Chains A and B, each alone.
Chain A
């Protein structure tokens, strides 16, 4: 539980605000982060950050503002000073032409659904040992890189609109290891994710990387521009899904015809009927949050149901402006793409097919045309040619430029095995985000537009 001094300071100033007729919302964000970075078979950086942030939002009629303080949140005076700053900003703000919705903690909650003290206190020496085991097993003639982020996040929300408070404590980690050939221009990678210390281990990494080494010893294949059967792996599916959501399922983009779902109606079929995507904060493969950043209670929220448009995410401002109900999507989502009925493993799914490009991860995805849902990105790490289901050769860095509607519309097979992927970034504050996706998604007629000379 949050230390009583900080909690009491926030609640004390919250109560003062109520007495003064100020509408305010407080969010405390406390992170203990650790990251070990590997480069050139060495630890290149070993960091620890202990950071506390206080966000204060103030609403006065149609005027609004926010103030964030990172520093010593050491008593009511600091919290009060942050509130006064936000109040001053609000006083001179222009009123909006719509009635804003005030953030409010919907129901009191104190949760730690995924908290492992052993991970919070994980000794960096244990991380070093894991990388050393991988290097020892696969050989030190290769060049190893990677990073291992771990830590804890504590959130506390309170506002003047309701007496309820929300508290969350959780741990998360994201482990990557990259194996590069010393002379050839190829790299292999593995990722692991989870919230418990025991969810990252050397042995699965050794097995996965080791299995790919013989394939990558063979000559690479340059993929000529054209249409191909492509099996996307978990990381690629997660990235594509996240980008498809951001460009097509945000209420603002939908209402203002910015996104690729604009003009489509709820209940209308937009993708393959094999595609069901739900934001499910109860899914244990994702990072679970019982409430969002605006204090709304998170719940199972269908976005795509058997290929039909089932839901859109509305933040408070968009909901207020367009007369919709806000949805609990301020902060991390728990995207779950339902597994399919295909074989668990991609090799079995591609067994009857002469040639399939297996692309587990996509590098630097972007959206050249949001309203048409065109994305582009290139293969990276572990990409291979499958011939009759067997990995025969590595493929050079291959650019795919296509639309979400086409790729998620031309699904030939979807794995029956769900796999967790970590979608967190470490820009700014710690905010873990994970998804659960099928182990592969085999699509036909995917457009390859370019190919490089390295992998």
Chain B
């Protein structure tokens, strides 16, 4: 499907009619291509060799202070989608407590393309499979029971229009990759060790990223070796101590207990029936000491190589770089235009100056909601991982989530990880298996006692953040250094 002059005209006409019929605002997203490839090599067998192509159009209309949305995969039915979206908004307007308001923004014309050296979907399938086959051979070892390699490659091309005159073309490209080995431990329980494709934040995000050994495939032998150690390791004991989160675990801690609680729609109560609320309130901003002074968190849409970078969000706001938490103090949130206006109205003052540019939709058939962009912890001054370990008396180094469970208001959490290294008196003593830890968000971040320098910082890619009704999956990124927290409850009661 092409976004051509005919469709452009149809959209312009549809928006004009919708606005003439009394709408306050209207936007349209047309996806000419939302393509993906999913390859899964399991024990050397190509168990998934799947491609997908979606195309269609979604129309969002604000009328009477309420949203209506309609989507169709039959683009020739675009005029009906405008009619349906407006009708939906009018129906919704019958039950409005606080009318939604987008405010006014100047029109934006622009374009964004993810920086790509070689488009991953243009690489011949045979070439990709050959690469995976060679990588798979490197995962074999006598104690390895199962080997898994997964590639998820995405390219989305769309055009955005809104009734303020904005028109934005985007092409977003993502490469996600996982390698994993599994083996039976001394109790005949399956253990696993894995590595996800990460980025430095710099560079391009095409097929070349997958091929770069330092980012992914170069870890194959190390992951296998660490599995071998895990299979012989004792179980983590249930007690309090420090935890040192490597970026492979720290990203999820940040995602679940900083990112989600700071989404403004959650804070305002719009996610209560499914994803949950937030312990953060509008009164918290500028007042709540979220963490220790070592904690500074940014929302930075402009990391050049991250799935959380997209140029413009799904209501046309250009990506932004701003702080969410400044030396422990909560100062801002992840937001969209209507949510900002509602928050300021409820607060009775200008609490937030502008949208955070975080209004995103997973596909043409979903309406945008407040999401994360790149939520990052700013590197600190506590040195390298070795230096942080050397300054730790009693702790665990933790990596790679196996499980995550968070309270509905994001107050408390429980995480399971693949592997732990015990630290005693500044030295790594041994590997431990079945690590878990739990805590309460504010208490946990206030115990942040060390933040690694820039050498420890890396961007973890998240391909599967779930939220919203109808449910939506979103791709985002987190730049995180090594982090140490003190007095954390680890392990499970025997």
Contacts and interface: CB of A to CB of B under 8 A. Distances in A.
A76 interface: no
Contact of B408 (A371, A372, A380): A380
Interface in A431-450: 447, 449-450
Contacts of B216: none
A147 B405 contact: no
B367 A45 contact: yes
Given A67-B51, A71-B73, A363-B276, A92 B408 contact: no
B370 to A, nearest CB: 12
Contact of B66 (A43, A97, A256, A369): A43
Contact of B56 (A48, A51, A262, A370): A51
A340 to B, nearest CB: 28
A176 B268 CA distance: 19
A376 B405 contact: yes
Interface in B42-57: 44-56
A180 interface: yes
Interface in B95-128: 95-98, 100, 124-126
Given A42-B96, A147-B274, A369-B189, A93 B49 contact: yes
A449 B73 CA distance: 47
B466 A427 contact: yes
A47 B416 contact: no
Interface in A75-92: 85, 89-90, 92
A123 B347 CA distance: 35
Interface in B71-91: 71-77, 84-85, 88-89, 91
A70 B97 contact: no
Interface in A33-72: 33, 35-53, 63-72
A202 to B, nearest CB: 13
B185 to A, nearest CB: 9
A96 interface: yes
Nearest to A67: B51
A131 interface: yes
Contact of A128 (B49, B92, B270, B365): B92
Contact of B88 (A41, A124, A257): A124
B367 A47 contact: yes
Contact of B405 (A47, A262, A377): A377
Contacts of A263: 188
Interface stretch (B196-204, B433-441, B450-458): B433-441
Given A378-B412, A450-B414, A128 B94 contact: yes
Interface size on A, as a range, is 35 or more
A6 B412 CA distance: 51
A132 B72 CA distance: 29
A201 interface: no
A158 to B, nearest CB: 19
A112 to B, nearest CB: 23
Interface in A1-52: 33, 35-52
Interface string B359-402: 00000010100000000000000000000000000000000001
Contacts of B470: 33, 35, 47, 49, 149, 426
Interface in B418-469: 434, 436, 438, 440, 466, 469
Given A52-B74, A147-B469, A257-B190, A89 B270 contact: no
A94 B133 contact: yes
A43 B125 CA distance: 46
Contact of A46 (B66, B75, B270, B402): B66
B245 interface: no
B238 to A, nearest CB: 10
Interface size on B, as a range, is 35 or more
B438 A399 contact: yes
B67 interface: yes
B235 to A, nearest CB: 10
B67 A44 contact: yes
Contacts of B73: 50-53, 70-72
A145 interface: yes
Interface string A182-194: 0001010100000
Contacts of A189: 273
B125 A89 contact: yes
Contact of B55 (A70, A132, A371, A378): A70
A317 interface: yes
Residue from A90, A317, A364, A451 whose CB has the most chain B CB atoms within 10 Å: A364
Nearest to B32: A71
B411 A68 contact: no
A261 interface: no
A30 B50 CA distance: 20
Contact of B70 (A41, A47, A69): A47
B407 interface: yes
B8 interface: no
Nearest to B268: A40
B473 interface: yes
B279 interface: yes
B22 interface: no
A42 B97 contact: yes
B46 A447 contact: no
A125 interface: yes
Contacts of A425: 471
B125 A92 contact: yes
Contacts of B146: 256
Contacts of A401: 414, 492
Contacts of A64: 46, 49
B493 interface: yes
Contact of B190 (A39, A85, A371, A447): A371
Residue from B190, B268, B404, B493 whose CB has the most chain A CB atoms within 10 Å: B190
B129 interface: yes
Contacts of B92: 36, 42-46, 124, 128
Nearest to A318: B47
B223 interface: no
Contacts of B88: 46-48, 124
B55 A452 contact: no
Interface string B236-272: 0000000000000000000000000000010011111
A449 B434 CA distance: 17
A147 B74 contact: no
Nearest to A57: B50
Contacts of B473: 427-428
A90 B49 contact: yes
Contacts of B76: 72
A71 B53 contact: yes
Contact of A145 (B55, B91, B96, B269): B269
A71 B46 contact: no
A276 to B, nearest CB: 28
B409 interface: yes
Nearest to B88: A46
Given A35-B469, A45-B69, A70 B89 contact: no
Contacts of A47: 68-71, 88, 367, 470
B406 interface: yes
B145 interface: yes
A49 B472 CA distance: 14
Contact of A40 (B97, B133, B279): B97
B184 A43 contact: no
Listed from nearest, the 3 A-B pairs whose CB atoms lie closest are A368-B416, A43-B92, A39-B270
23 contacts: A35-B469, A37-B469, A41-B97, A44-B100, A45-B469, A46-B66, A47-B68, A50-B77, A63-B46, A64-B46, A68-B50, A70-B54, A72-B76, A89-B125, A93-B129, A178-B273, A262-B190, A363-B407, A365-B405, A368-B436, A377-B405, A397-B408, A399-B407
Given A66-B51, A68-B53, A426-B471, 9 more contacts: A44-B270, A47-B70, A92-B125, A94-B129, A96-B47, A123-B91, A187-B277, A378-B405, A378-B412
Interface of B: 1, 44-56, 65-77, 84-85, 88-89, 91-98, 100, 124-126, 129, 133, 145-146, 182, 184, 188-190, 265, 268-274, 276-277, 279, 365, 367, 402-409, 411-412, 414, 416, 434, 436, 438, 440, 466, 469-473, 492-493
